Amino acid sequence: SQKIEQNSEALNIQEGKTATLTCNYTNYSPAYLQWYRQDPGRGPVFLLLIRENEKEKRKERLKVTFDTTLKQSLFHITASQPADSATYLCALDPASNTGKLIFGQGTTLQVKP
Amino acid sequence: GAVVSQHPSWVICKSGTSVKIECRSLDFQATTMFWYRQFPKQSLMLMATSNEGSKATYEQGVEKDKFLINHASLTLSTLTVTSAHPEDSSFYICSAGGARSGGEETQYFGPGTRLLVL
C-alpha cells in the first residue's frame, strides 16, 4: 500500500542545535516533495520544495535532501531557535503535477531555550 | 506574497444544519483549489479538488452530496457541509495553487475553519 510516514514522536532539542526530521514514502514515485510548517490551529505554511533530480536544497537555516533510492527526504533546521517549535509536514503529489498533496502525519519539534 | 483567506475561522452549529465555508485567494487567481480536513493530532486529509467552472472531484470515501463544493470564480471556492453531525466536527483547510514562491509552484493554505457540531 502507499504510505508517507514521518516520526510521530515529538522531537525535543536544545536551542542552537540542528534538528533533523525524516519523511519516508512507499509505493510512490513523486516528482517532488514539499515541506510545510504548521502551528497549532493554523493552516500549513510552505517552506521548501525539492524535485527528484535535486539532491539538496537550502533556504536560510533550512536544508532538505531527497533520496529517491531510499525513498526518503530529510529536513534540517540548523541553529534552531524556540520560534522554530511547530509541527513539520512533508507532502507529495501522488500523480505528479496534479497539485493534489498527500501529507505525512507530521513531526512536532520542540526547541528548548 | 500569496494570501488565502477562509471564513468563518470557527463555527458552532446544531446537528442537522448546514454550514458554508468560504475560501478566497486574495492576490492571485486560482483555477484549482483543494479542501482538506484535519482531525486532532492527525495529518491533513485531502477531501476534494475544486475546479473553477466545473464539478469538483472527490477523494475516495468522501461523500459528494454531504460536502458540496462550488468554485464560482477564480478567487472563491465554497465548501458546504450539509446536515452536519458531530462526527463532521473537524478543522477544514483550503489551499489554492497557481502561485509561485521563489520560482517554485506551490500551494498556499488558508488559516483553516474549526467546525464544532453539537
For A20-62, how does the pLDDT look when each residue is reduced to its tens digit (9 = 90+)? Answer: 999 999 999 888 899 999 999 999 999 999 998 898 999 999 9
Residue B100 predicted with pLDDT over 60: no
Chain B residues with beta carbon closer than 8 angstroms to that of A36: 109
**Chain B interface, mutation test: which of A4, A96, A100, most B Cβ atoms within 10 Å?**
A100
What's chain A's average pLDDT? Answer: 93
Residue B106 predicted with pLDDT over 80: no
Give the single-character DSSP code of B75.
T
CB within 8 Å: B109 and A104 = no
For β-strands B19-25 and B4-7, DSSP reports them as antiparallel
In the chain, the amino acid numbered A45 is: V
Band (A108; pLDDT cuts 50, 70, 90): very high
Band (A111; pLDDT cuts 50, 70, 90): very high
- Cα maximum dimension of chain A: 41
CB of B48 within 8 A of CB of B104? no
pLDDT at B105: 67
Instruction: Please give the backbone phi and psi of residue B36, each rounded to the nearest 5 degrees, phi first.
Output: -120, 160
CB of B13 within 8 A of CB of B117? yes
CB within 8 Å: B49 and A99 = yes
Residue B1 predicted with pLDDT over 70: no
SS3 B100: strand
Tell me the residues of A at the B interface, defined by beta carbons under 8 Å apart: 34, 36, 41-46, 49, 59, 89, 98-106
